[in-house]
Each structure stands twice: as structure tokens, then as C-alpha cells.
Chain A
Amino acid sequence: MSSPVNMNDRKSKSPLGDLGVSVAISSLNLKYQQKSVLKDLNWNINRSENWVLGGTSGSGKTSLAKIIAGLQNAIGEVKINFDTGSHLPAEVLFVESWYQFKNLEGVANFYYQQRYTSQQAKDTLTVHAELVGFGKENGLHFDHVEPILEALNFATFASSQLIELSSGEHKKLQLVKALWLKPQFLIIDQPYTGLDASSRKNLNILLDEISADGVQLILICNDSELPSSINHFAEIKNGQLVEVDSIDTVSATEKHSREIPYFLKESPVYSSQNIIKMVDVNISYGEKQVLKNINWEVKAGEKWLLQGHNGSGKSTLLSLVNGDHPQSYANELYLFGNRRGSGESIWDIKQHIGLISPEFHWYFDATSTVWQSIASGFYDTVGLFQQLPYTKSAQVDELIAYFGLTGSKNELLNTMPLGKQRLVLLARTIIKNPELLILDEPCQGLDIQQTQHFNQLVDELCSNGMTLIYVGHFESQLPTCLEKRILLENGEVKIVESLNTKTRHNEVRSNLLHGTI
């Protein structure tokens, strides 16, 4: 007999304890809008096991994790058998791939780019206060969190307001809390998202340490550099759990053979050959200077790679370009040939630009349908507030077909897997054939196959003479069209260079080895 999974049932002790089975899942079924996601899924996890759950996007990995953690209901049985002899908290902790934080009043009503506006009425806690509260709630020693903060390169954020953190930094804070708490079960969805190379390495060391202390791990990802304590691999195929030898990280990419819509084959109409010009641009919040004497020029049609560590100032730099930063009015900044602050509105600026970033995605209206989300790109609005004329409406349909999304054009964004949501937002940025395309870590949270597919589309779409600024981590795969690179370090321009497309990967890699980045 199947019955809905109930959190209370799962917390009770089961007679399985003697067998060394800590999680027993049987006949689990989950349907989403008439589609079966999980079909009679069975999974036994033994005491000494640490798993990686991989496989294709949309196969149900995140749903399964949420069901185990009691955050989502499904039909079937999930028994969690906590070790009563353990000193670790009898808890399944799920660290989400995306985390929505709350303000002092316990609500999460923040808005896009709010963090750049300076407001004296502080609405959120500092990172330090947040951690103190978390430690108190769970009876943890503050001494124990400090090494974790160091290892993940997060100690400098102690006095930052939560609102000031980027999405990647929020993810880190969640990891810090999880590593500190050491629950008996720890499930992390995309643990490496938004982390730079050294943080990834240190995270693996920390995960091995807590595993040695008795924490059982389930990591949801398709990465190859994993903690050495991981000893089992599985994928979800056709709704069932299949144990595999290892996660296949280099599956062949689906060949994309559809023709680019005609309206995107033509070059964008440039209002000026000078896309961006920054002259000694400085941005600071109180004492903290985040951009120092930035000089940078981008000409029409150039394809730039923007790089730098977490916190180096990349997002702030791009917010200046996109008209989102209040301090852009006090700097010598030219966009599309016009001096910023010479009477233009931010909507005048945005109409030249297509932008996608983790933060934008975060604040995007996820209750829009695919079609509405893409159509809203014509007006640069979050949500669609007007009717489209026929020609524009036809262009939306064409682009949806090109992205292979016709079947899901009426689905709500928040019902789709992350990878598909990103494709929808890419389509949104491109719909008006903008002069400048800004892709700020567009593949954050995507697996390797999805990243390849995404970058292949970027290469195709940009071949019409569009200007591109692409932010990607060092080791991530990049579109091949990139030809110039700017590197930020602590808010300053460290390197501006041309990329020879043939040797680019080697160069970047050798720079990495020699510690220049």
C-alpha cells in the first residue's frame, strides 16, 4: 500500500536500524502535471555510504532530495533511520541550489539590484549576526565556524549585510552553516555552483572531514572533482534510481541543428560604435571601495570575457553598464556614445542591452509562462505588462521554436528545471536583437552538457555582429567566439588582453598555473 510521505512518519525510528540501512525508500512516485517524474523508485542507503546523484537536468534529482528532506510530498515510503548513538543532530539538512534569504522581519520581499542602493535603514542582519543566531539556535560553538569561514574564503564578509551578498555568496553562507551544524544527513544541490577553484578544493576537504565525523552525504551534481569520501554514484533514469560506476561528465552534446530565426541573422542596428567607455570609474560604499579607477572601452561587435574572483567587482561593473547602479551618475561613464546622466532614462539604456545573471534570474517573475517571459524582453520588464503587436509576437514564436521550447511555451517558469529556465532567459535577452549581450555567469548551476549546449547557442547567436560580455569562471567552458579578456582583482583592472582563439584555453590554463589569476 502506498501512502503520502509524511514528515512525522519519517522521523520515527524504524526497525531497519539493525540492518545498517539509514535511508530506505520504496515505491516512490511523483507526478508533475500529469508527467511521471519518479516511478516506483527504490533506494537503500547504508550507514557508510556517501552518494553523488547525477544525470540529466529535469530527471527529478532535486525533487527526490526534497522528498528525503521532508520538504516535498510524494506517494510512497521514505524511512529515515537516525543513529541514536550519534552525537550529531538527527536531522536531514537540504542545501538548496538557490537560496532565498529573509530580512529582519522574516520576509523575503527584496528586489532586483536593491543591494546597490545605499539606505540607512538597515533591513537585514550582518553575516556575523546571522551566524551567531544560527549557532545559538543549534547549540554550536562559534570557534568551530571560523576555520570553515577561512577555508571557504568567507571571513571577510562578516560585517556585510545579507542584502549586499551576491547569489554565489549566499550559497556559500548556506554551505558554511551546513558544515558547522554537521547533521546526520547532508544533501547539497549543486555544491560547487558559484565557487572559485580554491573554494571548491577546500569544500571537498571539509566534506571529507565531516564525513569522517559521521555525516552522510548526498551531493547532486555532475562534477568530476569530488570529495574522496564519495563511494557511490547514481542517476535517475526513467523515474528510477540506477546505480552507476561513476558520473559520466562528458556526454556528447545534443547536436543543435535548427536554423537561426531570420530576424536574428541580421546585424543589430548600432546607435554608436562606442558601446562602453569608462574613465577612472570608482565605486564605494562608505569606506569600502569596490571598484578602483576602472578604465575600459568596448567597441561595437567585440566579444569580451570578464573574469575575476568572487567579490572582485564583476557584478558591480556590469550593473553600471546596465543602468542599475545609483553611483553611475557620479562617474565618467559613456554608454552607446552618450554620457551617463545626461538626461537618459534607464529604460533608454536597457533597450540596447540583453542581460542575464544569476541575480536577475533570482528576482525574475517565475510565475510568468515561457512565452510571456521571452516576450517581456522586448520591453526589459520583469513580467509582461502589454500586448505584443503581431510581428513581435511572431518573432517570439520563431525564437521559441529555435530553442526547442515550443512544447512548453505555456508552462510556468517555476515548473521547469533550472537548465531550461536559463535557456528561456537567454531567449529573452536575445529577442530584440540587442546591440550588447551581457551574460553574467549564465551557466551557473548548469551541468556540463547544458553548459556546452548553452555556449554553442551563444556562439551561433552572436555571429551576426552582436557585442558580447561574458562572465565565466576560469575552469568553466566558454563560448569560442570570445576574443578579448578583462580580469578584475580587488576592484581593479588587472589584465586586459586579446585572446588568440586557438591558444586561448592553454593561455588561461597557464595563467592559472602560474598564479596570475
Chain B
Amino acid sequence: MSNYFNTLPLREKLNQLGVCDFMDSSEFLDGVSALKGKKLVIVGCGAQGLNQGLNLRDSGLDVSYTLRKEAIEGKRDSWKNATENNFKVGTYEELIPTADVVINLTPDKQHTAVVNAIMPLMKDGATLLYSHGFNIVEEGMQIRKDLTVIMVAPKCPGSEVRAEYVRGFGVPTLIAVHPENDPQGKGLAQAKAYAVGTGGHRAGVLKSSFVAEVKSDLMGEQTILCGLLQTGSILSFDKMVEKGIDAGYASKLVQYGVEVITEALKQGGITAMMDRLSNIAKIKAFEISEELKDIMRPLFQKHQDDIMSGEFSRIMMEDWANGDKNLLAWRAETGETAFEKTPAGDAKIGEQEYFDNYLLMVAFVRAGVELAFETMVQAGIKPESAYYESLHETPLIANTIARKKLFEMNRVISDTAEYGCYLFDQACKPLLSDFMKKVDTDLVGKNFNEGKDGGVDNRKLIDVNEAIRSHEVEQIGATLRKAMTAMKAIKTA
């Protein structure tokens, strides 16, 4: 198998990278009818598998699960999840031949083995559904020509997919049809019906491509989402301890700070996040984030280049073949960091204090989101996709850090994201060492405004505000957030 993207001529590369359309709600008027009466068989029953299946069944569709023989015989958790919720469960041989749609919700790493096992069993003209395009795009998996290949990717953890559905809403969802495998032209209709079945159509659906999804998803997760949040958290904690700040306080500020800060990001983009700071603090955060962007830009570009060329996938798959040697070593290293080992203290930290005493993280987040977005757009990814894979997902990862710190955050994200996160972190820390030498507790640990005159130069403030607000991620973000919450907005009117 060879990298699918690299087999394409440049014209077609750009063509597939540049797909991203926000779909109008009128596109979903047919509901689930394209899948009505069809047999849907889900491979795997973890968090995404179970919750998507529950939603699809509650939408009136016929859902069952297929698991490996060992999982069934060993009555593993996936088997219990499915049977205790009264789903039919069977082996590949039992269920795949009857399936009209096979939904592959196993981890990336298993895709090649799983698809090789199920493809010969699939009936003529059936559909194979992925929720991530890595196997098709990076591994270059060739799917039988009679089969339709589509992607439906809810952009939230499995539990959220269910929680939003039962309250009558849904989560934003990305759909795509693989252009090499749409022999009957039914791919898009089925993908849309699936999005309706999981509730995604109520919260907004983006039509993307396998290529655009993979290249932007990899870039976002390894740079801003997981990579930079990890690097920034560890450096911030170590700096505070070095400067004599109480370790319990430092641990708490880092663990919960990123969630509080990015909540503002979620509501109103970089602008809202920066506006939570005083004028003098905002100008400072702007200046150091500009500096950080300059320092880190080459690293972000390297990551994007390696993703585009397939180099990233190649070395990661090498590590897979090598028994995850690097991944496991880096994972252990993360578990041993001082931040990870210091429990959050009892000190009460007010909401505003997280901004005032953790200006450094505000700067990291602005720098990381803007850099990731800029780098993706320069590489030919549409701004809508780039927004999704950078700014939109940052609060979701931050939320995981607040709940589980870094070691567990890395465990719950995909193996691909985890690998990329460590790769970034390893390279980024040395890159920032000179910068960090200059950082003192006014940027992290203590209130930046303390003992300072709050006065600012009008012109300077106007310029800084203008620079923040006019960035393209803010323009597209404002449009997308409005579209995604158009219906929700009524609720808070």
C-alpha cells in the first residue's frame, strides 16, 4: 500500500485539500431515509461505537455490532457494552455478509487489519464507513471497487454525542465521500442520513474530503491541541516551581487554567480570550505571543510539511511496527513530569485569577491557534477546516486536561494524536528554552497587574486590538460559531 495523497497529481491534491462546505439544514430534509431498513453493522464497541450505535437505533435504524472472536469469547468490555444494551452481537463471519453498511469505529492502528478481515466478507455494493481517513489517505488502503466509502466524524467525545442527542440536539459533524469509491453515487446521501441518525444535522455538518480531514486533523492535534498545551503546561509549572511559587498552587493553576482560559476562546474566539485581560496585560500577552509565533513558526511548518509529504505517517507507522517503542517511552516520560506528580493544592483560584496569573498560557494559546490556522491555510486547507481543527477543538482538549492532567489526556486521545503530541513536545521544549529564561512570575504564577500602573497608550491599544480582531481565524470563527449555534442561540436570547 502506498500513501494515497502522494499518488495524486498536484491539481487533484489541491482539489481534495480544498473541500469544506457548511451544509444548509435543508440538505437534511430526507432524514434517515437513505439508511432506513438497511443493516448497519458497527465494528468495535468503545465510547464512540456504543454511543453512535445507541443514537442510530433510537433514530429508528437497524444496528448491530461485530467484534473479534476473542472479544466475544472473552466477554470483554466491548462485548458487554453491546449485549447489555440489547444489541445483537456476532463475529465478522456472522454479521458482515448481511451488512448494507459496515461502520469501522476501531482505533486507527487496527484499521488495516480490520479492513483486510472484513472486506472479503462484505456483500457486493455495500458501504464502508470510517470516522477518520487515516487508513485511506496515509496508509493508502485500497477498497474493493464495488464498495462505497464514506466518512462521518462527530467532532466530540462519544459521551457528548449521546448526551446532546438525548436532549434533542447534536454535535458538529464532518462528512465526506471517498472519490475513488462511490460507484453508485449514493455515498453523500448515506453520509447525510448517518449524520441525521446521530443527531449531527441539528448542530451543523461540514462537507469535507478524506484528504482534507486527515491533513488538517493531524496538524491540529499535534501542534496546538495536544502538543502545545502539553509543552506550555509543563514549562509553566516548572517555571513557577523554580521561582518559588507553591507547587500545589502551580499545579492547580496549570491543570484548570487552560480550561478556564479556553472557555472564553470557545465563546468568542481569540478576541474574547484576550479581552479578559486588563489593557496592560493584553498588550503584554500580545507582544509575547508574537514572539512565540516567530520562535515556533518553523516547527509548525515542519509538522505541516511532514504531514503533507507523508513523512509523519511513515515514521509513526515505523514505530507501530517497532512495538510502539517511542510512544511508550514518551508516554512514561510524561507520567514522570513534576506537574503530573504534584496534586492540585487546596488554594481557591477565582475565575479571573486564572487569566491574571496565567498570562503566559493566554499567550501560548493565541500563538498556537493562530500559527496552526495560518500554517494549514497556507498549505491549501480551507479556513473552515483549519478553524475546526485548531480553535474549535482546543477547549475540548483543555477540558480533558482539567479532568485528567496530561498523562491521561494523552491516553484518551487517539494513538495518532498522542504520537504527534510527543513528537511536537520533544522538539518544542528546546526551542523555547531561551524564551523561558526571560519569563518571570508576573507572567505565570502572580497577578501581572500587581504593582503596575494600569495606563496604556491609546494608539498602541487600538493597534493591538485591531491585529487580534482582524486575524482570519477571528473572521471565519465568528461566521462559523454563528452558524453552528444559530438554533442554540434562541435558547439564550
Tell yes or no: B120 within 8 A of A by CB. no
Q: Which residues of A lie under 8 Å from residue B490 when comparing CB positions?
A: 372, 384-387
Tell yes or no: B169 within 8 A of A by CB. yes
Looking at B37, B58, B62, B403, the one whose CB has the most chain A CB atoms below 10 A away is B58
Q: Which residues of A lie under 8 Å from residue B60 when comparing CB positions?
A: 343-345, 348
Q: Which residues of B lie under 8 Å from residue A376 when comparing CB positions?
A: 168
| Stretch of B81-89, B109-117, B128-136, B304-312 with 4 or more beta carbons under 8 angstroms from chain A | B81-89
Cβ-defined contact, A382 with B168, below 8 A: yes
Tell yes or no: B467 within 8 A of A by CB. no
Within 8 A of A (CB), among B150-177: 159, 162-163, 166-169
Q: Which residue of B lies closest to A106 (CB)?
A: B403
Looking at A326, A379, A385, A386, the one whose CB has the most chain B CB atoms below 10 A away is A385
CB-CB contacts of A332-369 with B at 8 A, as 1s and 0s?
Answer: 00000000000111111000000000000001010110
Cβ-defined contact, A326 with B54, below 8 A: yes
Looking at A120, A348, A368, the one whose CB has the most chain B CB atoms below 10 A away is A120
Tell yes or no: B294 within 8 A of A by CB. no
The docked-state distance in angstroms from the alpha carbon of A345 to that of B50 is 17
Q: Which of A112, A344, A368, A379 contacts B166 (CB 8 A)?
A: A112
Tell yes or no: B80 within 8 A of A by CB. yes
Q: Which of A120, A344, A382 contacts B80 (CB 8 A)?
A: A120
Given A343-B37, A382-B168, decide whether A329 and B491 contact each other with a Cβ distance below 8 A.
no
Given A329-B57, A348-B60, A367-B491, decide whether A105 and B169 contact each other with a Cβ distance below 8 A.
no
Cβ-defined contact, A382 with B85, below 8 A: no
Q: Which residues of B lie under 8 Å from residue A329 when comparing CB positions?
A: 57, 86
Cβ-defined contact, B166 with A111, below 8 A: yes
CB-CB contacts of A385-398 with B at 8 A, as 1s and 0s?
Answer: 11100000000000
Cβ-defined contact, B487 with A385, below 8 A: yes
Tell yes or no: B202 within 8 A of A by CB. yes
Tell yes or no: A212 within 8 A of B by CB. no
CB distance from B160 to the nearest CB of A (A): 9
Cβ-defined contact, B162 with A330, below 8 A: no
Tell yes or no: B59 within 8 A of A by CB. yes
Given A330-B86, A368-B491, decide whether A381 and B58 contact each other with a Cβ distance below 8 A.
no
Q: Which residues of B lie under 8 Å from residue A117 when comparing CB positions?
A: 50, 54, 85, 162
Q: Which of A118, A330, A345, A368 contacts B59 (CB 8 A)?
A: A345
Q: Which residues of B lie under 8 Å from residue A382 when comparing CB positions?
A: 167-168
Q: Which residues of A lie under 8 Å from residue B24 when comparing CB positions?
A: none
CB distance from A412 to the nearest CB of B (A): 10
Interface range on chain A: under 10, 10 to 19, 20 to 34, or 35 or more?
A: 35 or more
Q: Which residues of A lie under 8 Å from residue B36 when comparing CB positions?
A: 343
CB distance from B70 to the nearest CB of A (A): 16
Q: Which residues of B lie under 8 Å from residue A372 when comparing CB positions?
A: 490-491
The docked-state distance in angstroms from the alpha carbon of A387 to that of B488 is 11
CB distance from B403 to the nearest CB of A (A): 4
Cβ-defined contact, A111 with B167, below 8 A: yes
Tell yes or no: B314 within 8 A of A by CB. no
Q: Which residues of B lie under 8 Å from residue A387 when comparing CB positions?
A: 490
Tell yes or no: B123 within 8 A of A by CB. no
Q: Which residue of A lies closest to B203 (CB)?
A: A385
Cβ-defined contact, A120 with B59, below 8 A: no
Cβ-defined contact, B163 with A114, below 8 A: yes
The docked-state distance in angstroms from the alpha carbon of A120 to that of B74 is 14
Given A121-B77, A326-B85, A329-B86, decide whether A385 and B404 contact each other with a Cβ distance below 8 A.
no
Q: Which residue of A lies closest to B60 (CB)?
A: A345
Tell yes or no: A286 within 8 A of B by CB. yes
Cβ-defined contact, B491 with A383, below 8 A: yes
Q: Which residue of B lies closest to A118 (CB)?
A: B84
CB distance from A321 to the nearest CB of B (A): 15
Q: Which residues of A lie under 8 Å from residue B54 when comparing CB positions?
A: 117, 326
Cβ-defined contact, A113 with B166, below 8 A: yes
CB-CB contacts of A308-340 with B at 8 A, as 1s and 0s?
Answer: 000000000000000110110110000000000
Interface range on chain B: under 10, 10 to 19, 20 to 34, or 35 or more?
A: 20 to 34
Cβ-defined contact, A386 with B168, below 8 A: no
Q: Which residues of A lie under 8 Å from residue B403 when comparing CB positions?
A: 105-107
The docked-state distance in angstroms from the alpha carbon of A376 to that of B169 is 12
Cβ-defined contact, B86 with A327, below 8 A: yes
Q: Which residues of B lie under 8 Å from residue A386 when comparing CB positions?
A: 487, 490
Cβ-defined contact, B84 with A286, below 8 A: yes
CB distance from B481 to the nearest CB of A (A): 16
Tell yes or no: B47 within 8 A of A by CB. yes
Q: Which residues of B lie under 8 Å from residue A32 when comparing CB positions?
A: none
Within 8 A of B (CB), among A124-173: none
CB distance from A70 to the nearest CB of B (A): 13
Q: Which residue of B lies closest to A363 (CB)?
A: B167
Within 8 A of B (CB), among A465-494: none
Tell yes or no: A262 within 8 A of B by CB. no
Cβ-defined contact, A119 with B50, below 8 A: yes
Given A121-B77, A326-B54, A345-B58, decide whether A385 and B488 contact each other with a Cβ distance below 8 A.
yes
Q: Which of B59, B167, B492 contacts A112 (CB 8 A)?
A: B167
CB distance from A365 to the nearest CB of B (A): 7
Cβ-defined contact, B166 with A120, below 8 A: no
Within 8 A of A (CB), among B292-326: none
Cβ-defined contact, A327 with B58, below 8 A: no
Q: Which residues of A lie under 8 Å from residue B491 when comparing CB positions?
A: 365, 367-368, 372, 383-385
Looking at A112, A348, A365, A384, the one whose CB has the most chain B CB atoms below 10 A away is A384
The docked-state distance in angstroms from the alpha carbon of A382 to that of B62 is 26
Cβ-defined contact, A367 with B86, below 8 A: no
Q: Which residues of B lie under 8 Å from residue A323 when comparing CB positions?
A: 58
Cβ-defined contact, A121 with B166, below 8 A: no
Within 8 A of A (CB), among B55-72: 57-60, 62
The docked-state distance in angstroms from the alpha carbon of A347 to that of B47 is 23
The docked-state distance in angstroms from the alpha carbon of A363 to that of B492 is 17
Q: Which residues of A lie under 8 Å from residue B85 when comparing CB positions?
A: 117-118, 326-327
CB-CB contacts of B467-490 with A at 8 A, as 1s and 0s?
Answer: 000000000000000000001101
The docked-state distance in angstroms from the alpha carbon of A323 to that of B58 is 8
Cβ-defined contact, A346 with B58, below 8 A: yes
Q: Which residues of A lie under 8 Å from residue B32 when comparing CB positions?
A: 345
Q: Which residues of B lie under 8 Å from residue A381 when comparing CB positions?
A: 167-169
Tell yes or no: A189 within 8 A of B by CB. no
The docked-state distance in angstroms from the alpha carbon of A329 to that of B77 is 21
Tell yes or no: A380 within 8 A of B by CB. yes
Cβ-defined contact, B167 with A367, below 8 A: no
Looking at A113, A118, A379, the one whose CB has the most chain B CB atoms below 10 A away is A118
Q: Which residue of B lies closest to A346 (CB)?
A: B58
Q: Which residues of B lie under 8 Å from residue A118 when comparing CB positions?
A: 80-81, 84-85
CB-CB contacts of A271-304 with B at 8 A, as 1s and 0s?
Answer: 0000000000000011000000000000000000
Q: Which residues of A lie under 8 Å from residue B202 when comparing CB positions?
A: 385
The docked-state distance in angstroms from the alpha carbon of A291 to that of B292 is 61
Q: Which residues of A lie under 8 Å from residue B78 when comparing CB positions?
A: 120
The docked-state distance in angstroms from the alpha carbon of A119 to that of B158 is 12
CB distance from B140 to the nearest CB of A (A): 33
The docked-state distance in angstroms from the alpha carbon of A330 to that of B57 is 12
The docked-state distance in angstroms from the alpha carbon of A28 to that of B492 is 33
CB distance from A382 to the nearest CB of B (A): 4
The docked-state distance in angstroms from the alpha carbon of A121 to that of B36 is 31
Cβ-defined contact, B81 with A120, below 8 A: yes
The docked-state distance in angstroms from the alpha carbon of A372 to that of B487 is 13
With A330-B86, A386-B490 already in contact, 4 other A-B pairs whose C-beta atoms are closer than 8 Å: A114-B163, A121-B47, A343-B60, A386-B487
Pairs A–B under 8 Å by Cβ, sample size 10 = A111-B166, A113-B166, A114-B162, A121-B77, A324-B166, A345-B60, A346-B58, A365-B491, A372-B491, A385-B487
| Chain A residues within 8 Å of B, Cβ to Cβ | 105-107, 109, 111-114, 117-121, 285-286, 323-324, 326-327, 329-330, 343-348, 363, 365, 367-368, 372, 376, 379-387
| Chain B residues within 8 Å of A, Cβ to Cβ | 32, 36-37, 47, 50, 54, 57-60, 62, 77-78, 80-81, 84-86, 159, 162-163, 166-169, 202, 403-404, 487-488, 490-492
Q: Give 6 nearest A-B pairs by CB, closest first.
A: A381-B168, A118-B84, A382-B167, A120-B77, A111-B163, A330-B86
